[in-house]
Structure 1
């Protein structure tokens, strides 16, 4: 709900104030989750956590983008993308270990010392940058974009998982989609819309956000599908599955040492196009795993997958902001965060739906390991569509950021 106004709030109150407040809210939500004794209390605490998280990601990115010159952006974003890469793959292993050996409440309590450390670092090192004059908040635009996005994500999260009755799920998806579809009409009729869609006139931002969303939908399905394959299909427990999928994190961290060099040598267009194909093919390869596949083979495939994903995520982040000016940076950060959240939800929904269709097509309702291959192929094909957008970029797109072609 609050992602669309994160940039406006940061400009109005100051980036340090908002970032620090977001950490406090997130930590408070984590503590309340840990001590909740009823489902209603737990859901309310998770909602509070979500408010903090919605502000932390785009405002944290905004702080970085404003502080770093364009020619150092790739190196800086290398670090910014680490949590997005590590979270989905290390989370299951850590969560499985905590649940198995301790108590589920510690999954939330572990956030407390991390949050306190983060708060100290923010207050010590981040300047409180704010705009001297701000237009009034576009409340109607906030309602259409924020509520529309959250309702749509709720419906997509339920799709294929039967979390809500079918009619409620359909209503959420339809209402959310209609609200988001109405936003461009609204934005053209107000002087200062909460989300400035004119940013999509920038070719690099347009490609980074839209093509990046297609890629993230496919990749976003794998943290849902892969653990299910390893656990339901191959009989692993959550800890074993989580430890094996940590190979993706190892590959991602390794690639951080090479990303800047690769982009400087080959440029954004070539790297994004070729890497989108390789990463999408890697998702399809997951469908070839069987219960008899040696664990070392699975580990190596996931290791390579982590490398190419890490490169693609960093390149997508960097190309998105290559032409964005400082004045529109907060708007761009909010839009990018909205697109990423929506793509992640679509990825999980698509993965769940593809798995369900694959199972029903084979005449059974219980998911078996053979049902996963078509699901992986489906999300891989969607991810691969992004390469056509990347191929249409100019050869020198984002050269100021990547350093490609300098000295030649």
Structure 2
């Protein structure tokens, strides 16, 4: 499917299982794979990522950016959208919730659809669906229409990234996965950071409709590029859809995501959210029980027996909670407590982006030199430390100090997420990549949704916590407590990283 000049592999390597003849060669040992891929005749790394593979990865990155941007940018325009549609700004929260819910519910289906209908057909269809739904969202005249169209838009988004990432990783040598994944991961870091500033500019100088119209040219370009690059037909012998697994999994993930939405609402009663959360966990337990027993499950949980994959999914999900909190809490702190303008606060938050991009050229060296266990542990410590540092910021803190702190936080976010997303596929055999990709995408999407909800929950807990500990409270103290609480997931991820066996991820490391 994608040109992959990796002797003795065939000249054109199809995606896993795309034809009956697509049988993966025996997976090399960590030592052999690392030695082969990391050294050429002159001792320098042998880069095997072809221009075509790089183009596919950048295409998926662009789609990832659109998906993540649409998940956050609408929040900044809630008052404008509400006034235009004749509803309250809080009611517009359904527009965001509908989109995030649809992503969480439909991502598990992406693996089966790819196998049944082929990566090319599903990926192109997803881009068309997302683009057309974006155009329709801009033309919506009522809240009900907008919510329904956001569900349609979310359906397209749920298919784009998991399918695209599977195509990008097909036939790639293990040591080249980190560099390829780094192309795909950065949009997930940039979109939440850029959304407040971009949304503020659009709603200030244009109408809220342009929040969706900006997807039209992006979607057209993505479709044209995908038409030329993406290949891959149906997999032979795919069984019928596991409807029972789909129902249990989708309803459970949907209930869990909606629980996060309730918890993020300052007026939602705790008992209702707790009850729905308990129901969602029960549904997910039933889903896991079914997936373990089914002959042809929707998602093969056997990939979790691979230690590095299991550690990546669990540690990466926890790490995501702290990552998602920074671009949510910082603009609120700057505007509500410091009294800064949306443009000034958005510009400072962009220093997270500076850290994301600035560290990228060094990530390969860091993982190659120090190993996954050490770098992931350090990323968690630095992220937790910078969040604790944000707890002590005041309106009088020098801007360069804030900028440096936020930049360091961005570097830790970027390094950690790149590590977890690449470690997930370190030891997964080629014939299990589709199931691993689907399960990893499901966990990541769910964690991202819960991470957005965790920030307002921590903020709500800040008042009683500071009042109990200090005998008084204030908005500044509440934000300080929230940042401190949200540093704990990063520390939890660090604990998991420290417990990784020595040599974990060595098959991915390219050393000079």
The TM-score with structure 1 as length reference comes to: 0.94
Q: Structure 1 residues 110, 367: closer, same or farther in 2, change over 3 A?
A: farther
Residues 104-125 of structure 1: per-residue CA shift (max 9 Å, x gap): 1101100000000001111101
- Cα distance in 2 between the residues matched to 1:341 and 1:170: 21
Per-residue CA deviations over 1:182-202 (Å, capped at 9, x if unaligned) read 112112221111122221111
1:291, 1:14 → 2: CA distance?
A: 54
Q: How do 1:2-13 residues align onto structure 2 when only pairs under 5 Å count?
A: 2-13=106-117
Does 2:319 correspond to 1:215? yes
CA distance in 1, matches of 2:434, 2:477: 45
Contact 1:278–1:308 under 8 Å retained in 2: yes
User: Structure 2, unaligned stretches of length 5 or more?
Assistant: 1-104
Structure 2 CA distance for aligned equivalents of residues 258 and 217 of structure 1: 24
Residue 420 of structure 2 corresponds to which residue in structure 1?
316
TM-score normalised to structure 2 length: 0.76
Q: 1:368 aligns with which of 454, 469, 475?
A: 475
Q: 2:350 matched to 1:241?
A: no
Whole-angstrom distance in 1 between the partners of 2:277 and 2:352: 32
CA contact (8 A) 1:248 1:303 kept: yes
Aligned position for 1:52: 156
CA distance in 2, matches of 1:336, 1:307: 23
- The answer to whether structure 1 residue 106 and structure 2 residue 210 are counterparts is yes
Aligned residue for 1:355? 459
- Per-residue CA deviations over 1:77-106 (Å, capped at 9, x if unaligned) read 110001101101011111111111111110
Question: 1:291: Cα distance to partner?
Answer: 1.3
Matches within 5 A, 1:9-408: 9-162=113-266, 169-362=273-466, 368-403=475-510
Residue 160 of structure 1 deviates from its aligned partner by 3.6
Q: Is the 8 A contact 1:26 1:52 kept in 2?
A: yes
| Whole-angstrom distance in 2 between the partners of 1:263 and 1:16 | 33
TM-fit CA distance, 1:349: 2.4
Q: CA deviation at 1:164?
A: 5.5
Distance change in 2, residues 1:32/1:291 (3 Å): same
Query: 1:366 Cα shift?
Result: 10
Contact 1:219 1:283 in 2 (8 A): no
Q: Alpha carbons of 1:189 and 1:26: their partners in 2 closer, same or farther (altered >3 Å)?
A: same
Q: Distance in 2 between matches of 1:27 and 1:114?
A: 8
Aligned length: 405
Task: Determine which structure has greater relative contact order: mean sequence separation of CA pairs < 8 Å that are 6+ residues apart, divided by chain length.
Answer: 1
Structure 1 unaligned residues grouped into runs of 5+: none
- Which structure: larger Rg? 2
Q: Contact 1:229–1:372 at 8 Å: present in 2 too?
A: yes
Change (3 A) 1:75 1:398: same
User: Which stretch shifts more, 57-66 or 162-171?
Assistant: 162-171
Q: Distance in 1 between matches of 2:146 and 2:362?
A: 42
